[in-house]
Amino acid sequence: MSSTRTLTAALLVVGALTAVLIGWFGSGWRAVEREQRALVAAARAEAGEDAARLADELVAELELLRASESQRPYFHYQNLFHDPRGASLGWSVVPSPLATGPSAALVAMHFQLDPAGELTSPTVNPEVPENNAPVAASDLAMLAELAAVKAALVAPADPVQVAMARPAPVAAAASDEQTARPVAVARNDAPLEPKPARGDKLARKVAKDDPFGGDKVAVASKKRAVKSAPEPVPQVVQIDPEVYAQNLQSNEIFVSSRQGKGELQQAQQAPRPAAPRTPQEPQASQTPQAQQAARDPAPTAARGDGDRSVQLAGNPPEGDGPVPDAALAAARPTARPSAAPRTGAGAAAPPPPDRPVTITIAPLVWRPVRLAGAPALVAVRSVTTPDGQLTQGLVVSTERLGEWLAEREPATHAALVAAAEPPAGAVAPVALAGVGWWIALDDSAALAAARAAGDGLRSAFLGRFVPITLLALVCAVLVVLLTARAEKLARQRARFAAAAAHELRTPLAGIQLYGDMLVDGLGDPAKHRDYARRVAEEASRLGRVVANVLGFSQLERRSLALRAEAGDAVEAVRAAVERAEPALLRAGAAVELEAPAAAPARFDRDALARILGNLLDNAEKYTREHEDRTITVTVRPAGDRVEIEVADRGPGLPPGLRRRRFEPFTRGIGDDGPPGLGLGLALSQSLAQAMDGDLSWRDRSPGATFVVTLPAR
């Protein structure tokens, strides 16, 4: 019954602890997994935000590029051009700012498509090969790729712009004074448009100071500038007819300038005529422009920025002769253009000089194309002239975009990926005209760090869970052990109470029986002496029981005290055996003593007598069912010890009792066996150890053998 209660308590404790631990582990592990997923998701989200930020920065950079390039004069897109601000008023051309390659960091090439469908680049001049840029070969290859997508580059003509570009008819009633009045023209590089907004100025300043965007503050300024800047608007430009004509015939002027220089050198070396011609008397064979130049010579102005200029009009340098009329005539156009404007030989002549030429320039717009089998981005604009519509534009360099991204995010290895579908990883689309570009970041390092942090969370949780679980299990085991011990103690108390009552009742009953017989004169009068001896024996047995109980009580209170003295162990053993022998003989047991003449030792006589009494009593009780009930007591010196051996020929100790043989309340038989409290061996061992000796059991067959060891004197 008691073991069942212990088992029930153990099951309840273990079940409750297991339920708590499983619940804690499940909830904690799920929380750790959620935190791990949150860390990985946060790392991916951060990488995606970085990719989106880079995409926004790239869009801002390209929009600033588009806004800046939209202000570029249309004649910069040819290899040679006449600069209205930097060149002389005469016939002169200089190389374009784009002749050596794009000035913007993200531009791969500028191109122009004329009405005849011919694609050209400022870096390539087939008619003047010496003006080709070092990158002319690669630009020619790119022009060939652009030719395959020519239809996607040409913008439809705007009828309003075409009408604006046509020369207006001169009123018939205009007076000579109005006709001769100089025309106020707006230079091509200063379009007639509203004053730029503050954001536009900021965008231009940032783009000029930092073309690649040095830090995030600059990028934020660029993004704000792009958002606040107005959208580029079409430009309506009026230029002088002569400027327009020179930009149409830049190559002829350049070639004629070289020929004119040769004739000029020959004229300077020839003898001067005797009667030089005065400027007030122009020859009839001269053109009106030549006559005007002879009447009003203008000095040639060279560009102050180091660009080359071609001098074809004005007075020659000091010490040189005048420019021959043939050179001047060869450098000037003579006919009105009848076809599309060209830059090669046979280009058309300018409009009449009495009306300005109107040029309408649309802003650049983004167009997605495929170059070399990959998505590419170009910006194109239409330029409407009196002689047709030009398409000008630029190609964005994907290689330089990759360099821009690498400089922006070196840690994440940012790259520009051209694909129709988003690639795997942290990506963000470049939202420009559906070009099919993606900003891809290498988020492996961030994900590895997030996973490492998640593993740290898992290790931290296990570091808390495992020790606490072990501690809880230890506590549960202790609770079960305490419960079992309490049950065992309760069981021992019950057995002790029953055994004590039995042990006390049996001698008391004998004492009462034989005492009454002596008092009442019952029984055989000849046996009254024997009755008195029985009373003494029962009283001795009762005293031994009481002594064991008191001794165990002293042992539990740790108040057991002995006084060991030197003496003869053989004499003490013989006295104890003689005292117990009559009772043993009446019970049917025999005692044999084997001892030398003397065995000096240190011991307490009363304690040794109690030990031998318990051992002899146990030997008698546990051999009652056997024929040979001889008990042998042997005393022998063993070095610095004296051994007292008590052996019987009974059944011996059961195997299950051998490890617990000296525990209190332990008995080798059931409740139906001989009476006893189960305290004899435990008390005897404690008494032997208190005398600096010991009580041990030796495995011998048949019977049980106990050995008392005492220190020699």
In a domain? residue 247: yes
Q: What pairing do the DSSP bridges indicate for beta strands 374-385 and 357-361?
A: antiparallel
Q: CB-based contacts of 253: which residues, under 8 Å, 6+ apart?
A: 80, 82, 91, 92, 93, 246, 310, 312, 331
| Integer Rg of the chain from CA | 63
- 338-342: average pLDDT: 40
The strand ranges marked E within 280-407 are 357-361, 365-371, 374-385, 388-396
For residue 575, the domain's CATH number is: 3.30.565.10
More confident residue, 38 or 346: 38
| Start-to-end C-alpha separation, the chain | 52
* pLDDT tens digits for range 468-480: 999 999 998 898 8
Q: What pairing do the DSSP bridges indicate for beta strands 641-647 and 630-638?
A: antiparallel
578: left (phi over 0), alpha (psi -120 to 50) or beta: alpha
- 263-285: average pLDDT: 43
In a domain? residue 245: yes
In a domain? residue 479: no
Confidence of residue 658 (pLDDT cuts 50, 70, 90): low
In a domain? residue 234: yes
- 271-293: average pLDDT: 39
**Residue after which a domain boundary falls, among 375, 396, 417:** 396
Most confident among 115-119, 160-164, 670-674 (mean pLDDT): 115-119
In a domain? residue 460: no
pLDDT at 306 over 70: no
240: phi then psi, degrees, rounded to nearest 5: -65, 140
- 77-95: average pLDDT: 78
In a domain? residue 404: no
More confident residue, 670 or 372: 372
Q: Which domain holds residue 322?
A: 71-165+183-194+230-269+301-396
Cα distance between residue 354 and residue 21, in whole Å? 100
Number of domains in the chain: 2
pLDDT at 28 over 90: yes
Most confident among 337-346, 356-365, 541-550, 611-620 (mean pLDDT): 356-365
* pLDDT tens digits for range 690-705: 888 999 888 777 788 8
- 654-671: average pLDDT: 64
The pLDDT > 90 percentage for the chain reads 30
* pLDDT tens digits for range 565-588: 899 999 999 999 998 888 888 888
**Residue after which a domain boundary falls, among 396, 412, 442:** 396
In a domain? residue 419: no
Per-residue pLDDT, 393: 95
Per-residue pLDDT, 213: 45
Per-residue pLDDT, 68: 92
- Amino acid identity at 623: T
**Residue in this structure with the two tokens 């990028």, named with its chain if needed:** 219
Confidence of residue 296 (pLDDT cuts 50, 70, 90): very low
* pLDDT tens digits for range 167-224: 544 333 333 333 333 333 334 444 333 344 434 444 444 444 444 444 555 556 656 5
Structure-block tokens of residue 684: 């005897």
More confident residue, 547 or 13: 13
Structure-block tokens of residue 163: 């009408």
| Cis peptide leading into residue 702 (ω within 30°) | yes
pLDDT at 603 over 50: yes
Most confident among 148-152, 201-205, 483-487 (mean pLDDT): 148-152
| CA angle (238 as vertex; 236, 242 as ends), nearest 5 | 145
In a domain? residue 250: yes
- 313-329: average pLDDT: 37
The pLDDT > 70 percentage for the chain reads 69
**Residue after which a domain boundary falls, among 339, 371, 396:** 396
Q: What pairing do the DSSP bridges indicate for beta strands 388-396 and 107-113?
A: antiparallel
Per-residue pLDDT, 160: 53
Confidence of residue 6 (pLDDT cuts 50, 70, 90): confident
CA distances from 123 to 81, 95, 188, 384, 400 (A): 13, 10, 21, 23, 19
* pLDDT tens digits for range 89-123: 567 888 999 999 998 999 999 999 999 889 999 99
More confident residue, 302 or 413: 413
Confidence of residue 242 (pLDDT cuts 50, 70, 90): confident
Lowest mean pLDDT among 327-336, 350-359, 410-419, 467-476: 327-336
Confidence of residue 660 (pLDDT cuts 50, 70, 90): low
